[in-house]
Structure 1
Amino acid sequence: MLGLAALYTLLPMLWLVLSSTKSRQDLFATNGFAPGDDFALLDNLQYLFEADNGIFLRWLLNTVLYAGVGALLATVFSVAAGYAFDKLDFPGKERIFSLVLLGVMVPGTAMAIPLYLIAAEAGLVNSFWGVFIPGLVFPFGVYLARVFSASYVPGEVLEAARVDGAGEFRTFCRIALPMVAPGFVTIFLFQFTQIWNSFFLPLVMLSDEELFPVNLGLYVWYSSALSQGHPQDYLLAIVGSLVSVVPLVVLFLMLQRFWKSGMTAGAVK
């Protein structure tokens, strides 16, 4: 079963890598799991970054801003909210948290049209902020942050900090946040991946190609190849898909060392 799961996961990626090495002539004339005869990967990459006056680089930069900055801010907000729900007492805490859980249950695609209508009223349609601001809200991250706070942040350590004169904000920043670092990284990766792969919201919100994220731009190229018979756009979509996967792989490899438990082992006697 593990072997089948590995094949299901790796075969599409293998096909993507091998197809990216083919010329436009070899793309449909050779076996899908055979490399290109001329190994044209470098030429394809050059063609990708020069196509349409380098629009792919703009899409890639847009996605980095949407996903990178948006996921970082969303993680900070989620961890702060989860810590507050876990360690602080305030009126209506559990009822408010129930609303957060309700937000977890609602799929993101169901919120796209309401978000579009709200953005239209605010004048944010077809703008950077119309896609960026919704990415700052991550109810599942708040839920995870509360779980991590309960597991990683002992109440005794916080009480000791308060006795020493630390305020709530300083206690959170200097004591709780370093302790919950594995949870911070986990929430960041979840939200980064979600925003990076987001498709329907940008499709609804944006009409200017200069503001497209990379996956929406690849969809435009793929649709052009199918509807207008442009095989060069099909090759662009394949090579662009390969390039768009690389940042996710690199990010996971860089941050996986933070996915460790027991950072606070021994902090409380």
Structure 2
Amino acid sequence: MTTTQSAPSAARRPGLSGWSGRTIVAVVVTVFVLFFAIPIVWLLLATTKTARGLITSNPFAPGSAGGLSTNWSQLFGFQDGAVTTWMTNSALYAIGALIITLVASIPAGYALALTEFRFRRVLLVLTLVVMLIPNTALVLPIFLELNVVGLIGSPLSVILPMSFFPFGVYLTYIYFSTSIPRDLLAAARIDGCREFQVFTKIALPLAAPIVALVAFFSFVQNWNNFFLPFVMLPSSDGYPVQVGLTSLLASTPAFNPSSAGAQSVQLPTLALATVVSVLPVLLVFVVSQRFLVAGMTAGGTKE
């Protein structure tokens, strides 16, 4: 009798614990989502408010189109259009470094994965080691080198260091090692293709997903880079938008009381500047999302 009564009770326990586990997971996920979503929602709504409305109104109540227009005019009128110059500089640095990165990292990854030459393994290990070094640790040595050749303050002082992207070489190496059939390349060589032709006509067209992935990671890193251009560029005319935001911050009375005056920047305008600075990255992500998914899943299985 005791045995028959305990069996249903034992059968119900897994369901109860499973339900409790799912509830705990749902609560934890909800807390994390709210933790990250609330500041983003507040930031977007702040761009539509006035400085007074930002303080006195409900934090999550939307402002008005007029408030957004006023903040937009103040932002792009700051220092005679400095924000437009900073955005242009960011695009120049990010795209210029991106082109060099692709030209260097894609062939390098192909060579490390699909060709045989002396010191190939040494170069691969060196690539992995360099990936572990923080980028900020290399800024000072690079500054000293570029100062010797007189490039400090020029666009090349930012573009050349940004184009150094060993992670792109490693991603490309993994892709070519696992996703490109070696028999296909061997057949092309038998047909008389030289190695450069094998790369450009066979391997490169098949590598479109990983090229898009490397391009995206490189662009995001270059666009968001702050410390390198801050050190390399002495003049605000050459600043990218990430460094230029510090000038806006210094002109905001809420953070720098001594900046109160005709050229002061209010908090809603600063919030709008933050949103504008990340829009290009979001746009690139939306446009290239399909290629990014293909690139991240490529190389997961051996062909």
Question: TM-score, normalised on structure 2?
Answer: 0.81
How far apart are the structure 2 equivalents of 1:177 and 1:8? Answer: 42
**Number of the residue aligned with 1:64:** 91
Does 2:51 correspond to 1:18?
no
Question: AA paired with 1:68?
Answer: I
Of residues 82, 99, 117, the one that matches 2:109 is 82
- Residues 22 and 40, structure 1, Cα contact 8 Å, conserved in 2: yes
Question: AA paired with 2:82?
Answer: I
Deviation at residue 103 of structure 1 after TM alignment: 1.1
Tell me the alpha carbon deviations over residues 45-100 of structure 1, each in whole angstroms, 9 at most, x when there is no partner: 12212221111111001111111231232123111111100001111111112111
What are the residue-to-residue correspondences of 1:90-129 with 2, within 5 Å?
90-129=117-156
Deviation at residue 11 of structure 1 after TM alignment: 2.5
State which drifts further: 226-235 or 148-157: 226-235
**Number of the residue aligned with 1:28:** 55
Gaps of 5+ in 2: 1-27
**Number of the residue aligned with 2:12:** none
- Residues 24 and 232, structure 1, Cα contact 8 Å, conserved in 2: no
Of residues 217, 239, 245, the one that matches 1:218 is 245
Question: AA paired with 2:63?
Answer: G
Across the two proteins, how many residue pairs are aligned to each other? 265
In structure 2, do the counterparts of structure 1 residues 191 and 9 end up closer, same or farther at CA, with 3 Å as the change threshold? farther
Identity, in percent, stands at 34
Tell me the alpha carbon deviations over residues 126-147 of structure 1, each in whole angstroms, 9 at most, x when there is no partner: 1111111111110111111100
State which drifts further: 55-64 or 170-179: 170-179
Of residues 49, 63, 67, the one that matches 2:76 is 49
How far apart are the structure 1 equivalents of 2:267 and 2:140? Answer: 29
How far apart are the structure 1 equivalents of 2:51 and 2:235? Answer: 28
Q: Which runs of 4+ in 1 moved over 4 A?
A: 261-264
**Structure of greater Rg:** 2
Of residues 241, 248, 254, the one that matches 2:281 is 248
**Number of the residue aligned with 1:260:** 294
Question: AA paired with 1:42?
Answer: S
**Number of the residue aligned with 2:100:** 73
- Residues 51 and 266, structure 2, Cα contact 8 Å, conserved in 1: no
- Residues 251 and 265, structure 2, Cα contact 8 Å, conserved in 1: no
- Residues 76 and 82, structure 2, Cα contact 8 Å, conserved in 1: yes
- Residues 67 and 195, structure 1, Cα contact 8 Å, conserved in 2: yes
- Residues 219 and 237, structure 1, Cα contact 8 Å, conserved in 2: no
In structure 2, do the counterparts of structure 1 residues 104 and 37 end up closer, same or farther at CA, with 3 Å as the change threshold? same
Deviation at residue 203 of structure 1 after TM alignment: 1.1
- Residues 250 and 259, structure 2, Cα contact 8 Å, conserved in 1: no
- Residues 221 and 234, structure 1, Cα contact 8 Å, conserved in 2: no
How far apart are the structure 1 equivalents of 2:205 and 2:37? Answer: 35
Q: Secondary structure at the match of 1:51?
A: coil
In structure 2, do the counterparts of structure 1 residues 154 and 5 end up closer, same or farther at CA, with 3 Å as the change threshold? farther
Of residues 33, 36, 42, the one that matches 1:9 is 36
Deviation at residue 105 of structure 1 after TM alignment: 0.2
**Number of the residue aligned with 2:157:** 130
Gaps of 5+ in 1: none
In structure 2, do the counterparts of structure 1 residues 222 and 31 end up closer, same or farther at CA, with 3 Å as the change threshold? farther
Question: AA paired with 2:209?
Answer: P
- Residues 74 and 137, structure 1, Cα contact 8 Å, conserved in 2: yes
How far apart are the structure 1 equivalents of 2:211 and 2:38? Answer: 31
**Number of the residue aligned with 2:166:** 139
What are the residue-to-residue correspondences of 1:146-185 with 2, within 5 Å?
146-185=173-212
Deviation at residue 39 of structure 1 after TM alignment: 5.0
Q: Secondary structure at the match of 2:77?
A: helix
Q: CA RMSD in A?
A: 2.0
